[in-house]
Structure 1
Amino acid sequence: MFSGTYRPKLDDKGRLFLPAKFREAMGDGLVITRGQERSVDVRTQADFDSFAVKLQNAPQTDARLRHHTRMLFALASDQKLDKQGRFTVTPELREYAGLSKECVVIGVYNRLEIWEPAAWAEYTAAQEQAFSDVEEEVYPGL
């Protein structure tokens, strides 16, 4: 499980140092792609493969699914960590998420998200009150 908030920096080649606590889980490879709200999703190769099978088995007659999977897979990039625990965030994904040097990496259960710091601050400010105000079940079955 991935959790926590970290602030690594992209180097001049677009490489990001993965926080040490996540390196073992990502050691067999990872996939980066577009995330929601202009973030970058980072999943283990195994999790991404499992996710892809679910999408493949979903009804392709649903236009929303077709649109979503095109956007998801078009910028997906298989990555391996180098000896220093870095991976490359592709130029297309850096542009999509507005990433330059500073980044915020958050753990979200089965994946990581990479955010541009101002976008993350704006998102959390907008969501904080809604998070605090939850009075009903938001997680089915819990």
Structure 2
Amino acid sequence: MFMGEHQHSIDPKGRLFIPARFREGLGNRFVLTKGLDGCLFAYPLPEWEALEQKLKSLPFTRGDARAFVRFFFSGAVECEADKQGRILIPLNLREYARLEKEAVIIGVSSRVEIWAKDQWEHYKGQAASSYEEIAEKIVDLNLGI
């Protein structure tokens, strides 16, 4: 399980240090792709394969399903950390997530998310203001929170 928040710089070559605890959970090779809300998602290969199977089951006759699957898979790349614990984030993914110099890496249960620092601060500020309201809505899902 991934949890926590870490801030790191992106070097001029587009490399980002991934914290050791996250690297251990992601494994030697993992998948990085376009996420939701303007961030990147990183999945361990077994988690990615399970997600891939679920997405394959979406009806290809639905335009919204096709669009999502195209977008999600077209941005996916397999990554491997170097000896210093850095990954190279391809330019198209850096542009998508607006990653320039400062990044925030967060653990979100079964995946890791990579955010541009300013985007994360903005998102976190908005989410914090509605945290209790969201909790009230999801209590109906019987999550035991």
Q: Which residue pairs with 2:95 in the alignment?
A: 95
Contact 1:28–1:45 (8 Å) recurs in 2: no
Cα 1:63/1:104, change in 2 over 3 Å: same
Q: Which residue pairs with 2:63 in the alignment?
A: 63
The structure carrying a bigger strand percent of its residues is 2
Q: CA deviation at 1:123?
A: 0.8
Q: Which residue pairs with 1:27 in the alignment?
A: 27
Q: Which amino acid aligns with 2:136?
A: E
Q: Which residue pairs with 1:45 in the alignment?
A: 45
What is the CA–CA distance in structure 1 between the aligned matches of 2:70 and 2:62, rounded to whole Å?
Answer: 13
Q: Which amino acid aligns with 1:35?
A: G
Q: Which residue pairs with 2:86 in the alignment?
A: 86
The TM-score, its normalising length taken from structure 2, stands at: 0.91
Q: CA deviation at 1:42?
A: 0.8
What RMSD over aligned residues (CA atoms) do the two structures have, in Å? 1.4
The TM-score, its normalising length taken from structure 1, stands at: 0.93
Q: Which residue pairs with 2:118 in the alignment?
A: 118
Q: Percent identity?
A: 37
Contact 1:32–1:76 (8 Å) recurs in 2: yes
Stretches of structure 2 lacking an aligned partner (at least 5 in a row): none
Runs of 4 or more off by more than 4 Å in structure 1?
Answer: none
What is the CA–CA distance in structure 2 between the aligned matches of 1:139 and 1:26, rounded to whole Å?
Answer: 32
Q: Which residue pairs with 2:138 in the alignment?
A: 137
Stretches of structure 1 lacking an aligned partner (at least 5 in a row): none
SS in 1 for 2:102: coil
Q: Count the aligned residue pairs.
A: 142
- Residue range with higher mean Cα deviation, 123-132 or 98-107: 123-132
